[in-house]
């Protein structure tokens, strides 16, 4: 059951992050889930040591969702920089 919750929360987190980064039109549900789940890991690596807050997408909580969205926004920002460099270079 935990993996189903992880997919749903990861998808929501990826979707929210894509709205923040104006990439919603270019991403489908699959990539929203991937970005949200990977963003959760990145968010825990960033927010955990700084604020002592951790969250997991495997158990639904507001903290886990916020941490996942923060990490997903960071991930999409990195991807934007990589794609911008590839287009110009």
- Give me 69's structure tokens: 């969205």
Long-range contacts of 47-50 (CB under 8 A, 24+ apart): 47/71
Contact, 16 vs 74, CB < 8 A?
no
Task: Give whole-number Cα distances, 10 to 3, 31, 59, 78, 81, in Å.
Answer: 10, 10, 11, 18, 22
Q: Is 78 helix (H, G, I), strand (E, B) or coil?
A: helix
pLDDT in tens, the chain (89 residues): 678 888 888 899 999 999 999 887 777 889 999 999 899 889 888 887 888 776 666 667 888 888 889 999 999 999 989 888 776 65
């Amino acid at each position: 059951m935990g993996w189903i919750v992880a997919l749903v929360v990861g998808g929501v987190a990826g979707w929210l992050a894509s709205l923040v980064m104006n990439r919603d039109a270019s991403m489908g549900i699959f990539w929203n889930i991937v970005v949200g789940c990977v963003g959760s890991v990145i968010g825990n690596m960033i927010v955990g040591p700084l604020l002592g807050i951790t969250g997991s997408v495997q158990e639904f909580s507001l903290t886990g969702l916020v941490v996942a969205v923060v990490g997903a926004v960071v991930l999409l920002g990195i991807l934007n920089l990589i794609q911008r460099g590839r287009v110009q270079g």
